[in-house]
Amino acid sequence: MTNRTVAVVGAGIGGLSTALALVDNTDHHVVVLEANDRVGGRIADSSFAGIEGVDSGPDSFLARVPEAVALAERVGLGSELVSPEPVGAAVWFNGLYDIPEGLMLGLPGRLRPLATTGLLSWRGKMRAGIEPLLPRTSIADDSIGAFVRARFGDEVHERLVDSLVGSIYAADTDNFSLAEVPQLYGAAAGNRSLLLAARRQRRSAAGTATAAAGPIFAAPRGGIGSLAQATARAVTEAGGKILTDSPVHEITRHEEKTTWSVNGNEYDSVIFAGPARATGSILTEA
C-alpha cells in the first residue's frame, strides 16, 4: 500500500483507535493532533477519596461489541477486563431509589413499577401514565430531551432517561440527537407510544437473552482511562505520532495536489475524529 501521510484530528478513543488501525495495517505516516494536554477525550479520570484513576467520564464499554474487546486485547489489556456483578441499580435524586423495573434505556415499559416508585411525584406518575394515549410526536430535529419530555413529562426524562442515557453517552440529553441512540430512535420513529415500544423491545431482548450469554459491560481493572492510555502507547510504539496541545487552527485543501495543509503541514489525508461541533467549526473555516 502506498506510503501516505495522514492526520487524525482528535485523540479521543475514536481517534486513537483509528490511528492504531492505520499504523497496524498500512505503511502510512500517522500523526494525531489533539487540542488538549491529554489524550482520551471524554474518557477521563481523577482522584476520589484518596484513590487515583477513578473514572470521571465513561466507565465501561459494551462487552458484546467485539471491536471494543479486540482493542483491549490488542493493547495488552485483554486479561485485565472485568465486569460488574449483575445486581440491582439505583438512582440518586434527593435520596437513593431503586431503578424501576421494565425500563429500556430509561424509557418505562410498564406502568405498575412507575406507580409504586418513590422516585417520581404523583404528578410525574400521572403525566407518564397518559403516554400511551397521546398522539404521535414528530421526531423531526428533536433532541432526546425534547422528545421524552413531550411523551412522558419532565420527571421521567430528568430522573430516568437523562440519568441513564446521559451517563452512557456523557451527554446533555436535552442537546443530544435521538438519531445518536439507535434503540431510542427506532422506538420513536416506528411507534406512536414509546411505552409500548419499550415493552416490546424488552420482551424481544428477553427472548434472545440466552443467545447473548456473558457480561454486558466490561472495563480494564485500572479504569476505562487506562484503555485510552494503552491505545496511545500502542500507536506511538507502532510508529505513529501523537501531538497534544496542538489545536487545528488552519486547514486548506490543495485541489491541484489533492493534499491538505493542516497548521502549515502537508498531509495526503485528514481524518476528523473530534466532537461534531468542533469539527464543524474547523470545516467551516476550510
* Per-residue pLDDT tens digits of the chain, which is 286 residues long: 568 999 999 999 999 999 999 999 999 999 999 999 999 998 988 888 888 888 888 888 888 778 999 999 999 999 999 998 777 788 888 889 998 988 888 899 999 999 999 999 999 999 999 999 999 998 886 799 999 999 999 999 999 999 888 877 878 999 999 988 888 898 888 899 999 998 887 777 655 545 556 777 899 999 999 999 999 999 999 999 999 999 998 888 877 777 888 888 999 999 999 988 888 888 876 6
Number of domains the chain contains = 2
Regarding whether 246 and 227 lie in a shared domain, the answer is yes
207 plus 112 within the same structural domain: yes
Instruction: Supply the pLDDT for residue 259.
Output: 81
pLDDT value at position 279?
87
pLDDT of 278 reads: 84
pLDDT, residue 117, reads 94
**Domain C-terminal end among 193, 211, 229:** 211
- My answer on whether 75 and 143 are in the same domain is no
Backbone phi, psi, residue 83, to 5°: -130, 150
Domain check: are 138 and 249 in the same one? no
Per the structure, the complete domain to which residue 69 belongs is given by: 5-84+218-285
CA–CA gap between residue 195 and residue 106 (Å, rounded): 11
Query: 224-237 vs 66-74: helix axis angle to the nearest 10?
Result: 60
Cell of 85: 456483578
Do 110 and 101 contact (CB within 8 A), yes or no? Answer: yes
Instruction: Based on the fold, state whether residues 195 and 98 are members of the same structural domain.
Output: yes
Residue where a domain stops, chosen among 149, 176, 211 = 211
Residues 21 and 124 in one domain: no
Residues 187 and 96 in one domain: yes
**Domain CATH code at residue 233:** 3.50.50.60
Q: What is the CATH number of the domain that holds 173?
A: 1.10.3110.10
Residues 239 and 138 in one domain: no
Where among 181, 211, 241 does a domain terminate? 211
User: Is the torsion defined by CA of 140, 145, 146, 152 positive or negative?
Assistant: positive
